[in-house]
């Protein structure tokens, strides 16, 4: 069964999600993973849907006023859902807004093989906040990484905290 990635971006108003998901249901698309948020008053949604779907037909069905929808066929990941070998951490950055914060911090994480598995940034007034979930390979020198992150944070006039996730596995 084919997989399609659907992105929805547009002016937020009541009923956008209902309209998009209703159109997907009419096309026989089964929603697998999805995420939705508001970005500065715009609705932003990404969905992975399965089914024997025609990309053009699906795009036509999903068309909504003031909403841009894209549909792309994607290949299924064979290792999807398999347990990772990384160790989970949470990164917080907060400080004055300026260009380059995400690139500077993510470059440090990437240099040790760190994988950002989720990220959210918010601008409120002058305050810029970045929260990221990060998987680190087990062999990473975490203390050394934290020193490098602190140095990057200092250069950005920002505070950075990097701490282990504390999942309660039952």
Interface with another protein (CB under 8 A): 38, 90, 92, 94-96, 118-120, 122, 124-129, 131-133, 157-159, 161, 165-166
* CA 4 from centroid of its chain's CA atoms: 17
> What pairs with residue 42 in β-bridges?
11, 39
Residue number with CB closer to another protein (54 or 97): 97
What's the closest the beta carbon of residue 53 comes to another protein, in angstroms?
Answer: 29
Query: Residue 81 region, left (φ>0) first, then alpha (ψ -120 to 50), else beta?
Result: left
Among residues 163, 85, 168, the alpha carbon closest in space to that of 131 is found at 163
What's the closest the beta carbon of residue 86 comes to another protein, in angstroms?
Answer: 14
What's the closest the beta carbon of residue 68 comes to another protein, in angstroms?
Answer: 22
Residue number with CB closer to another protein (60 or 98): 98
Residue number with CB closer to another protein (51 or 150): 150
What's the closest the beta carbon of residue 75 comes to another protein, in angstroms?
Answer: 26
Structure tokens at 92: 């917080």
For residues 62 and 4, give the distance between their C-alpha atoms in angstroms, rounded to a whole number.
Answer: 13
Residue number with CB closer to another protein (53 or 134): 134
């Amino acid at each position: 069964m084919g997989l399609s990635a659907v992105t929805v971006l547009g002016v937020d108003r009541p009923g956008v999600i209902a309209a998009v998901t209703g159109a997907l249901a009419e096309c026989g698309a089964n929603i697998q993973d999805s995420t939705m948020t508001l970005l500065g008053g715009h609705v932003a949604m990404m969905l992975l849907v399965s089914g024997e779907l025609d990309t053009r037909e699906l795009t036509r069905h999903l068309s909504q006023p003031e909403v841009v929808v894209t549909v792309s066929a994607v290949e299924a990941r064979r290792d999807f859902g398999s347990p990772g070998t990384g160790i989970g951490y949470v990164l917080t950055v907060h400080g004055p807004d300026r260009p380059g914060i995400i690139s500077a911090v993510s470059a440090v994480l990437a240099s040790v093989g760190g994988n950002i598995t989720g990220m959210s940034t918010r601008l409120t007034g002058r305050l810029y906040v970045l929260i990221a979930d990060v998987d680190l390979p087990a062999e990473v020198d975490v203390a050394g990484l934290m020193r490098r992150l602190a140095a990057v944070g200092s250069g950005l006039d920002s505070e950075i905290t990097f701490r282990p996730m504390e999942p309660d596995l039952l």
